Amino acid sequence: MPLRRGAACRYGTRMQRGELNIGMVYDLRDDYLAAGYGLEETAEFDKPDTIEGIESALRELGFRTERVGNAQALVRALAAGRRWDLAFNIAEGLYGPGREALVPALLDAYRIPYTFSDPAVLTVCLDKALTKRIVADAGVPTAPFAVLHAVADAGNVRLPFPLFLKPLTEGTGKGISPRSKVADAAELRATAADLLDRFGQPVLVETYLPGREFTVGLAGDGDRAEILGVIEVVFRPGVTPIYSYQTKTDYEKLVDYTVPADDAGREAAAVALAAWRALRCTDAGRIDVRCDAANRPNFIEVNPLAGLNPTHSDLPILCRRNGIGFTQLIERIMRHALRRHGLAT
């Protein structure tokens, strides 16, 4: 059975004794590829070395682990009576705008604590327009935008060109390419038509931000939220400065990640922290920030369920560049999650 709230304030002792049993919930990419899904469809899912890396870090920290698998495997496990003191949840889900909320909602139903944000936060943050409305209402700068539900809606957009288009509820750069930046009404309609057809969901249209791009790692929640680090995405000569799905896939050839030492990096971190708190994200995640024509950092989007591949995911990369090793990152995630659920002081 899961521990009662407040029943385990001996966090350090329990870590040493290995008394906390952690259920690992995740979507393994190979399973979906074997079922016939494509590379882009499964871009957000995890490779075996991600699961192995997380499990190794958890065990190094003294936790006992049990691999559960995806949402369907979780349903079977719960029906069979299996329980955990806490679930380490990185399951992205496959269908619909609430897909990231499915696993935490199931865990809530059984009162099993879990890492990362709750179903409401994950649902809101997957919808880029809803997210931008919340951060804008909190006074966080973000580019003006519109949402297209059909190609005909393009005629109602009253934003100055150039504009930038992407699917409303996708991650990992899916749907983003050099065609995302459009210079006129004809390009707007053509790119919108393509995205609407390919992804079957609304399209976000934003004023294009031409400045520097940063990724900010965060941990904790509310007043306890902290900056893990900032990196700047520096595009190599000849590379189109758009952080697309292809760029993220071939990042070692196309971009350099540098730690900014100037005020821009600190300002990007401040924007990210304000957005993180406004969105009520928890435990750890990543926020992308890009500067406008006046070099002011603007919120782009948040990933409250950030990738955790020890080598290739942005959050571990930025932590590594800022002196935080992978096991240290997992320790911070667990520390915040256990404290938040009343399982530690």
CA–CA separation, 249 and 291 (whole Å): 23
CA–CA separation, 123 and 130 (whole Å): 9
Instruction: For residue range 220-246, list pLDDT tens digits in order.
Output: 999 999 999 999 999 999 998 888 878
- Provide the pLDDT for residue 345: 65
Query: Could you tell me which CATH class the domain 134-138+210-304 is placed in?
Result: alpha beta
Strand 145-148 relative to strand 255-258: parallel, antiparallel, unpaired?
unpaired
pTM of the predicted model, to two decimals? 0.92
Is the domain covering 144-207 a CATH 3.30.1490.20 domain? yes
Task: Centre a 10 Å sphere on the Cβ of residue 189 and count the other Cβ atoms it contains.
Answer: 18
Domain range annotation of the chain: 11-116, 134-138+210-304, 144-207
- Provide the pLDDT for residue 252: 87
CA–CA separation, 172 and 46 (whole Å): 12
CA distances from 116 to 59, 90, 209 (A): 19, 8, 29
Instruction: For residue range 89-148, list pLDDT tens digits in order.
Output: 999 998 889 999 999 999 999 999 999 999 999 999 999 999 999 999 999 999 999 999
Topology of domain 11-116, CATH: Rossmann fold (3.40.50)
- Provide the pLDDT for residue 18: 62
Task: Centre a 10 Å sphere on the Cβ of residue 276 and count the other Cβ atoms it contains.
Answer: 28
